């Protein structure tokens, strides 16, 4: 049996009124529409981006780092990027724990792969972050603990909502030719960004 949606909404509202509860849901009838990308919250947009990029590129792990809004920055201030919590892509539970560990962590502009990608507006790649010093990759101890290896960092900007600037940090699966995987990842990300609601920010 198929019911008209407006009948279902009206029945729901009447049921609530019997218990002294009220709803304005009826006022929405006739004004229903799909959410456009411009209305996506940052978390929803980030989740969609990470899911698509992570699965299509078989990434071991991916997460986003968030820069402060432009109106919160002064001209000479060094930018601090914070891990965007709540959304990530992880191939297994161990890598999911890596994201939890990153909660509350931050990197400064120019610091590590994430900070370098933000400052240079260029993709930054390391075949194995575990071989880097703490100066080169501030969270190297966690990378060693959780087995994070080859990494690519890319600076992006959200096209809609409030145009957040983010850095996408991607860890590649184990492979004898991770440099080839990194190049393929960059091409694939560029091809997917627009419909995912993000723009590429790069000097080349």
State the DSSP string of 138-163: TTHHHHHHHT---EEEEEEEESSTT-
Q: Is the pLDDT of residue 44 over 60?
A: yes
Please tell me which residue, 202 or 121, carries the higher pLDDT value: 121
Mean per-residue pLDDT for 95-111? 89
Q: Is the pLDDT of residue 8 over 70?
A: no
Please tell me which residue, 160 or 106, carries the higher pLDDT value: 106
Q: Is the pLDDT of residue 59 over 80?
A: yes
pLDDT for the residue numbered 162: 75
Tell me the C-alpha distance between 118 and 108, whole Å.
9
pLDDT band at 74 (very low <50, low <70, confident <90, very high): low
What residue spans define the domains of the chain?
A: 1-32, 37-200
pLDDT in tens, 128-141: 999 999 989 999 99
Which residue in the block uniquely carries the two structure tokens 């919160």? 72
Q: Is the pLDDT of residue 18 over 60?
A: no
Q: Which of 20-34, 106-120, 163-177 has the lowest mean pLDDT?
A: 20-34
Q: Could you tell me what percentage of the chain is helix, strand and coil, using 3-state DSSP and rounding each to the nearest 5?
A: 40, 20, 40
pLDDT averaged over the chain?
82
Which of 87, 118, 114 is closest to 103 using CA atoms? 87
Which residues are paired to 62 by β-bridges?
89, 170
Angle subtended at Cα 78 by Cα 75 and Cα 82, rounded to the nearest 5 degrees: 125
DSSP 8-state assignment for residue 26: G
Q: Is the pLDDT of residue 10 over 80?
A: no
pLDDT band at 103 (very low <50, low <70, confident <90, very high): confident
Fold of 37-200: Beta-Lactamase (3.30.450)
Please tell me which residue, 60 or 102, carries the higher pLDDT value: 60
pLDDT band at 184 (very low <50, low <70, confident <90, very high): very high
Q: Is the pLDDT of residue 89 over 50?
A: yes
């Amino acid at each position: 049996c198929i019911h008209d949606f407006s009948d279902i909404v009206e029945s729901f509202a009447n049921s609530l009124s019997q218990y002294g509860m009220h709803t304005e849901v009826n006022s929405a009838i006739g004004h229903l529409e799909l959410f456009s990308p411009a209305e996506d919250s940052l978390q929803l947009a980030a989740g969609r981006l990470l899911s698509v990029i992570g699965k299509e590129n078989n990434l071991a792990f991916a997460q986003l780092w968030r820069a402060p809004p432009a109106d919160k920055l002064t001209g000479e201030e060094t930018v601090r990027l914070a891990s965007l919590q709540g959304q990530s892509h992880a191939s297994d539970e161990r890598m999911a724990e890596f994201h939890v560990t990153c909660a509350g962590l931050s990197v400064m502009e120019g610091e590590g792969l994430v900070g370098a990608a933000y400052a240079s507006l260029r993709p930054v790649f390391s075949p194995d972050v575990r071989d880097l010093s703490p100066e080169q990759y501030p969270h190297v101890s966690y990378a060693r603990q959780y087995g994070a290896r080859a990494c690519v960092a890319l600076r992006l900007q959200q096209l809609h909502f409030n145009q957040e600037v983010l850095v996408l940090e991607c860890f590649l699966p184990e492979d004898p030719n991770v440099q080839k995987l990194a190049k393929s990842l960059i091409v694939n990300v560029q091809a997917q960004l627009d419909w995912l609601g993000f723009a590429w920010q790069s000097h080349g």
